[in-house]
Amino acid sequence: MGLLDIFKKIEPDKKKSPILHTLYDAAFTFAYSPDSVTDGGVHIRDGLDLKRMMIHVVLALQLCFLFGTYNIGHQHFVAGGEFLGFLEGFHLKLIHGLIQLVPIVLVTMIVGLGIEIIFAARKGHAVEEGFIVSGMLIPLIMPPDTPLWILAVSIAFAVIIGKEAFGGTGMNIWNVALLSRVFIFFAYPTTISGDQVWVSGYEGLAAGTQASYGWAHGLFNSLFEVMGVDQFDSARTAVVDGYSGATPLALAYSGGWEAVTEKFSVAQMWWGTIPGSIGETSKPFILIGALMLIVTKVASWRIMLSATIGAAVMALLLNAWGATPFMEVPWYYQFYMGSFFFAAAFMATDPVTASTTNTGKWIYGFLIGFIGMIVRVMNPAYPEGWMLAILFLNTFSALIDHYVLEANMKKRLQSA
Question: pLDDT digits over 291-308, tens only?
Answer: 999 999 999 999 999 999
Residue 32 predicted with pLDDT over 90: no
Give the mean pLDDT of the chain.
89
Residue 112 predicted with pLDDT over 70: yes
First to last CA, the chain: 63
State mean pLDDT over 221-245: 95
Cβ–Cβ < 8 Å for 371, 392: yes
The model's confidence at residue 161, banded by pLDDT at 50, 70 and 90, is very high
Higher pLDDT, 228 or 3: 228
Q: Please enumerate in sequence order all residues whose Cβ is within 8 A of that of 160, keeping only pairs 6 or more positions apart, or say none.
A: 115
Residue 48 predicted with pLDDT over 60: no
What's residue 71's pLDDT?
A: 98
Cβ–Cβ < 8 Å for 337, 315: no
Residue 50 predicted with pLDDT over 90: no
The model's confidence at residue 313, banded by pLDDT at 50, 70 and 90, is very high
State mean pLDDT over 149-178: 91
Cβ–Cβ < 8 Å for 367, 310: yes
Domain ranges of the chain: 50-202+241-409
**Sign of torsion over alpha carbons 304, 306, 307, 309:** positive
Q: Helix count (H) and strand count (E) of the chain?
A: 16, 0
What's residue 37's pLDDT?
A: 58
What's residue 192's pLDDT?
A: 86
What's residue 30's pLDDT?
A: 57
The Cα–Cα gap between 348 and 325 comes to 28
Residue 183's Cβ-count burial label (10 Å; 0-12, 13-18, 19+) is buried
State mean pLDDT over 321-327: 94
State mean pLDDT over 270-285: 96
The model's confidence at residue 168, banded by pLDDT at 50, 70 and 90, is confident
Query: Which is nearest to 293 in space by CA: 240, 253, 346, 340?
Result: 346
Residue type for position 103: P
3-state secondary structure of 27: helix
Angstrom CA distances, 245 to 138, 263, 279, stand at 22, 11, 17
The Cα–Cα gap between 127 and 407 comes to 38
State mean pLDDT over 334-361: 95
Residue 231 predicted with pLDDT over 70: yes
3-state secondary structure of 325: coil
Higher pLDDT, 57 or 19: 57
pTM to 2 decimal places: 0.90
